[in-house]
Structure 1
Amino acid sequence: MSQPESLAKLAEKYGLRPAIGRPRLPVYLLQLWERRHFILTYATSRNVSKYSGSALGQLWQVLTPLLNAAIYYVMFGLILGGSKNIDNYPAFLLTGMFVFTYTQRTVTAGAKSISGNLSLIRALHFPRASLPLAYTIQELQQLVISMGVLLVTVILTGESPTWFWLMMPVVLLLQTMFNVGAGLVLGRLGTSMRDLNQLLPFIMRTWLYASGVFFAIHDKVVNSAGLPEWLATAMYLNPAASYIEWMRGILISGHTPPGMVWVSCACWAAGTLAAGFWYFWRAEDRYGRG
């Protein structure tokens, strides 16, 4: 009697396919577009419910970075003298805080987007990339309010609106593209690296200090510390620092970022988005198992 055929060969013989498989990448992107209303609704509902239990509600999405900026201003601007040689340090610091916080919160949320929604993933069939995308949109909705506060603050500190301010949506679009890609990468890593969420706070804190949020990179690294020029260049090419510097150059009249910054922003946005989608899609049929 012949050896019984394996289930895999038997399924292949009769044309059976897995109920949850990984579609081709173009098909996958089309499925995401078809579920755009679900993604937007999911993000909005999370935004509404996030602060529903607090007395100040949605105000916390603005108060949190403002309070952090106030603390950092006292520590780094006043006590440690970080405001020296920087024009309009309050606007300088606040711009850095708001822009960095957008990426920080998106990446951190992306790392938990799959591992924190296993019950939803196992119950419903939908493109898993919908979850990191929804978390990014949630943070983008909060950023819109924060940017309104930032513009008012920048004007109050003595800056005048210019035509360059019309470039702000371009910077935020490129940053959002980067955030989506980074969130997708962290979303997949979060499903296999159980300690990732424990390490992320330390990684984010190091990234914060390396992105020039509190100080002018070239002045602090080259002029004050006497370190080589290439180190300052490497710090400027850090994606968080690039988006911060470009935004500062738009909002603060006395701030002139290096010319390479906008190239860095565009390259990080396109490269991270493409690589993130590909990397996440490769494991589409494994999310929620185990």
Structure 2
Amino acid sequence: MSQVLHSPPPATTGTEPRTDTPTETPAQLAARYGLSVSGARPTLRDYVRQLWARRHFITAFATAKLTAQYSQAKLGQVWQVANPLLNAAVYYLIFGLLMGTKKGVPDYVPFLVTGVFVWTFTQSSIMAGTRAISGSLGLVRALHFPRASLPLSYCLQQLQQLLFSMAALVVILLAFRVPVAASWLLVVPTLALQFVFNAGVAMVMARIGAKTPDISQLMPFVLRTWMYASGVMFSMDRILADRNLPAFVHVLLECNPAAVYIDLMRFALIDSFHRDQLPTHVWAIAAGWALLAGVGGFIYFWKAEETYGRG
């Protein structure tokens, strides 16, 4: 038998070059092949660009929600005006007649109806924003779109509903012989500032409501308290003049954003509501609240963009 001899492997000195290549990290592999994280938060500029590209969807979604809101009711869209009018009638009965808050307030019915309509716009926008994500999880999980579209569309829906109510308000103003004046044009900037403020707060509440849906059960109590501090049913300047309140409480009530927008609307529409009843620098306060809530709320909502619909 022949014997096969095996020569031993050559000795290594440790100086030979390595033939294996280091393993790439997942991040390096993703960069090489142009991959990106699914659902990652875009930059703020890109996010704004995406929202603008979907402006038609936001408008159509708001209009569809408004149309469907009373589709099952026999009176249909009449309830868009009837609901705030009925609220105003109840407040007039309780506060105007029983509690006597109409004493010393000229044009009390236009005063009250204006306050109720403007407050309802803020209240409904915030409540809708609270449920914007948690109540639309099927849509959020099925489609890819900037999630801020939802609270913005709900706020736009409430603005459209307010415009229907404003038509009824004009009839009430004329019925109580409130003259048409150039100051009515101030309604446009007032509503623009209020819409930005409402949208910002709605986006804050949308992010909170996405993580804590129970917040929607608490908000009606918070909003009711806010309403009573906003002069919806009574003249705020008379309350501040008749009571010896601490200075900081006086400032808080004067700078209350809901009261500021209500007073601006009353000043624009009702000739008996005079400039001296407005807080000092009222337009600066209104613009400041809109800027703070609008920009701050938008950034706060955008920061959690990739978390909505998960968990």
The match for 1:149 is 168
Q: Distance in 1 between matches of 2:90 and 2:201?
A: 28
The match for 2:304 is 283
Please tell me whether residue 234 in structure 1 is matched to residue 252 in structure 2.
yes
* TM-score, length basis structure 1: 0.94
Q: Distance in 1 between matches of 2:288 and 2:115?
A: 20
Please tell me whether residue 259 in structure 1 is matched to residue 277 in structure 2.
no
Query: Which residue identity is paired with 2:291?
Result: A
Q: Distance in 1 between matches of 2:247 and 2:182?
A: 32
Please tell me whether residue 219 in structure 1 is matched to residue 238 in structure 2.
yes
1:55 to 74, 94, 98: 74
Please tell me whether residue 247 in structure 1 is matched to residue 265 in structure 2.
yes
**Offset of residue 10 of structure 1:** 6.1
1:201 to 220, 231, 235: 220
The match for 1:18 is 37
Indicate conservation of the 8 Å contact 1:221/1:231, yes or no: no
Percent sequence identity over aligned pairs = 47
Indicate conservation of the 8 Å contact 2:203/2:301, yes or no: yes
The match for 1:180 is 199
Query: Which residue identity is paired with 1:195?
Result: D
Q: Distance in 1 between matches of 2:213 and 2:26?
A: 32
- Structure 2: give runs of 5+ residues left out of the alignment: 1-22
Deviations 1:141-176 (A, max 9, x none): 111111111111112112101111111111001101
**Offset of residue 30 of structure 1:** 0.6
Deviations 1:51-102 (A, max 9, x none): 0000111111111111011011011011101011111111111110000000
Q: Distance in 2 between matches of 1:13 and 1:228?
A: 65
**Offset of residue 25 of structure 1:** 0.6
Q: Distance in 2 between matches of 1:40 and 1:155?
A: 31
- Structure 1: give runs of 5+ residues left out of the alignment: none
Q: Distance in 1 between matches of 2:157 and 2:30?
A: 42
Q: Distance in 2 between matches of 1:58 and 1:96?
A: 22
Q: Which has the larger radius of gyration?
A: 2
Q: 1:281 to 1:51 in 2, by over 3 A?
A: same
**Offset of residue 229 of structure 1:** 5.1
* TM-score, length basis structure 2: 0.88
Task: Report the count of equivalent residues.
Answer: 289
